[in-house]
Amino acid sequence: MENLNPESLLQKAQALGDDIKEIESIDVEHAYRRMRQKIKSSRRKMIYNQCMRYAAFLTLPLLLASLTLGYLYFHKPVVDEKYAEVTAAMGSVIRYELPDHSVVWLNAGSTLRYPTVFRKDNRNVDLKGEAYFEVQADRERPFYVNTSNGLSVYVYGTKFNVAAYEEDDCIETVLEKGKVNVITPNRETMVLSPGEQLIYEKQSQKWTKHKVDVYEKVAWKDGKLIFRNASLEEIFKRLSRHFNVEILFNNRSGKEYRYRATFRSETLPQILDYLAKSAALKWKVEDAAQQADATFKSTSLASSWRSGTIPTRRFSQTNWNSTPKVISKP
């Protein structure tokens, strides 16, 4: 049996007291908090790693899809866009329906060029000469009429007339119904209301806008010639296109005459006779002269207050049908 002398018991008591003091010196609450922080940190790290793995899993397909779409966009095949041309010969008027079911009338000596399939964002046509348009409404695809001079007319759906013969000094736009926007080569934009006409002078690059009798300007599509306060120069120019003849006018007297007339089914001689009654105008028909190479020279008409000549031509009747030719985009 162990010897329990007072000195041994005192030493054990002291050792026990030291252990108790050491235990009491430990901050249990602090240790608990540190343990919880370690657990939370470990849990956050585990969740972060899992999220990164999921993100990588989801990002890879998106990245591949983006690369694929980008490649297809920048390497999409170029479509060979096809164009058609329809032309109204001198002395004829043509009515034609475009791919979007818009209808156009082409006046004599005019050509319209358009894509066989219109784009999804616009409808562009090129005009040389004169045309009357009935455009099908489409707010998503504006309709543009472009002229060789750089002037453009754009609409969404309306009825209007554009006269843009290359040999004329001006371009005329007349609105019958709806609203049109006219853009000049200088990028000025003018808006027309029904019954208004805009005249753009090619040389001065100036424009004027005023009210007009619309039917006077568009009656040609119905086979009529309407003149209101028109000079002989203007009348002869329109008669040349309408009847497919070349007319030269020699005003020896220097007088200016203005005419107001409407012609429907009259022949060219009948019209000239009517004009001659109101002025000292004489005219005659002259046969086309044959040249050395067996071709026929286009003899010009010299119409004057005293005498005039008109080269013989076969008068073409109004033609309401035409077959366009398809050509590749230049």
299: confidence class by pLDDT, cuts 50, 70, 90: very low
Q: What's the pLDDT score for residue 310?
A: 39
Same domain, yes or no: 53 and 93: no
Q: Is pLDDT larger for residue 250 or for residue 56?
A: 250
User: What confidence score (pLDDT) does residue 21 get?
Assistant: 64
User: pLDDT value at position 73?
Assistant: 58
Taking only the tens place, the pLDDT of each residue in 191-220 is 999 999 999 999 999 999 999 999 999 999
Q: Which region among 67-71, 123-127, 179-183 has the lowest average model confidence (pLDDT)?
A: 67-71
| Residue 322 clears pLDDT 70, i.e. is over it | no
Assigned domain for 145 exists = yes
Structural domain including 196 reads 82-219+319-328
Residue 302 β-bridge partners = 248
pLDDT number for residue 158: 94
Same domain membership, residue 302 and residue 261: yes
CA 103 to chain centre: 16
Are 139 and 129 spatial neighbours (Cβ–Cβ below 8 Å)?
no
User: Do the domain assignments include residue 261?
Assistant: yes
Instruction: Please tell me the distance from the alpha carbon of residue 213 to that of residue 228, in angstroms, as a whole number.
Output: 9
Q: Pick from 42, 77, 112: which residue ends a domain?
A: 77
For residue 323, which of 32, 46, 89, 42 has the smallest C-alpha distance? 89
Say yes or no: 165 and 97 in one domain. yes
Do 73 and 87 reside in the same domain of the chain?
no
**Residue length of the chain:** 330
From residue 209, give the alpha-carbon distance in Å to each of 182, 189, 216, 237.
11, 12, 16, 23
CATH of the domain at 178: 2.60.120.1440
Quick one: 304 and 168 in the same domain?
Answer: no
Residues 97 and 46 in one domain: no
- Residues 165, 252, single domain; the answer is no
The answer to whether residue 195 is domain-embedded is yes
Q: Is residue 65 domain-shared with residue 107, that is, in the same domain?
A: no
Q: Are 143 and 67 part of one and the same domain?
A: no
- For 7, left (φ over 0), alpha (ψ -120 to 50), or beta? alpha
Q: Judge whether 173 lies within some domain.
A: yes
The answer to whether residues 200 and 125 belong to one domain is: yes
CA–CA separation, 156 vs 179, rounded Å? 8
Residue 167: C-alpha distances to residues 42, 203, 239 (Å): 87, 12, 15
pTM score > 0.85 for this model? no
Determine the residue type at 83.
Y
Q: Total structural domains in the chain?
A: 3
In a domain, 199, yes or no: yes
Do residues 244 and 90 make contact, with C-beta atoms less than 8 angstroms apart?
A: yes
Q: Does 330 score more than 60 pLDDT?
A: no
Residue 15 has a pLDDT of: 72
Q: pLDDT for 234-283, tens place per residue?
A: 999 999 999 998 887 777 776 777 889 999 999 999 998 888 887 777 77
Residue 231 inside a domain? The answer is no
Quick one: 37 and 165 in the same domain? no
Q: What confidence tier does 121 reach under pLDDT thresholds 50, 70, 90?
A: very high
**With 60 as the cut, is the pLDDT of residue 77 above it?**
no
Q: Packing angle between helix 232-243 and helix 268-277, nearest 10 degrees?
A: 170
pLDDT over 80 (residue 128) = yes
Task: Say how far apart CA 319 and CA 316 lie, in whole Å.
Answer: 8
Mean pLDDT of 32-40: 69
Answer yes or no: is 233 within a domain: no
pLDDT at 199: 97
Bridge partners of residue 210, in order along the sequence:
197
Asked whether residue 135 is domain-assigned, the answer is yes
The predicted structure's pLDDT at residue 247: 85
Pair 263, 323 in one domain: no
Neighbouring residues of 152: CB distance < 8 A, sequence distance ≥ 6? 144, 145, 146, 182, 183
Query: Is there a contact between 176 and 218 (Cβ–Cβ < 8 Å)?
Result: yes
pLDDT band at 58 (very low <50, low <70, confident <90, very high): low
